[in-house]
């Protein structure tokens, strides 16, 4: 099982911030910023590149 890694961050038109992560399933998916930070994923949200 692979470790979850943050790839990039984005902001929806609604203003919601999301981090896109790779869980080793071949396709990144978005989760809300607060969930990303609560789970302690690396790198820190503010260090993720914007896309």
Burial 17-29 (b: 16+ CB within 10 A, else e): ebbbbeeeeeeee
Q: Give per-residue pLDDT as tens, 3-49.
A: 789 999 999 999 999 999 998 888 899 999 999 999 999 999 999 99
pLDDT at 41: 93
Contacts 24+ apart (CB under 8 A), 23-26: none
Q: Which of 20, 25, 27, 24 is nearest to 43 (CA)?
A: 20
pLDDT at 26: 82
pLDDT at 1: 40
Rounded to two decimals, the pTM is: 0.85
pLDDT at 2 over 60: no
pLDDT at 4: 85
């Amino acid at each position: 099982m692979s470790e979850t890694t943050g790839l990039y961050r984005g902001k929806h038109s609604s203003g919601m911030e999301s981090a896109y992560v790779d869980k080793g399933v071949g396709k990144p998916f978005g989760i809300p910023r607060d969930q990303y930070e609560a789970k302690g994923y690396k790198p820190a949200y503010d260090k993720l590149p914007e896309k």
